[in-house]
Amino acid sequence: MLKKSIALAVALLIIAVASANAAAPRYYGKLCNSCGFGQRQDYCVKCGKWVGSSSFPAGLCSSCGFGQKKDNCVKCGKWVGNNYYNARICSSCGFGQKKEYCVKCGKWAN
């Protein structure tokens, strides 16, 4: 009886750890053709600074990135379709844990 109880407890612990480590979907912001045309895609979507080579993808929280909302431009809100640019944030806006927050609403995006 004790062996069955220990085995059950271990199985439940394994399930709990596995579900806690399950990765939630990660959403990234997009820019429409107007907002990302030419060199506009090389600027931070939060502060407008040039991102250079040290930039981070602009993350979205599960509310702003869910369903068809993830297909809207993070700057102007237009639908981007299949022609889009990846939205980026500069190293200042993404420093430390700041890159883990939604670029639209500011909620935790991870």
pLDDT tens by residue, 22-54: 556 789 999 999 999 988 899 999 999 999 888
Residue 89 lies in a domain: yes
For residue range 61-109, what is the model confidence (pLDDT) as tens digits? 989 988 888 899 999 999 998 889 999 999 999 998 888 999 989 888 8
Alpha carbons 54 and 103: distance in angstroms, whole number: 17
- The answer to the question of residue 13 being in a domain is no
Count of domains for the chain? 1
Residue pointed to by tokens 């979205």: 60
Q: Please give the residue range of the domain that contains residue 39.
A: 27-110
Is 21 part of any domain? no
Please give the model's pTM, rounded to 2 decimal places. 0.71
- β-partners of residue 101 are 108
- Which helix (H) or strand (E) segment is 14 a member of? helix 2-20
Rounded-to-integer distance, Cα 21 and Cα 38, Å: 40
Residue 53 within a domain: yes
Residue 82 lies in a domain: yes
User: Does residue 60 sit within a domain?
Assistant: yes
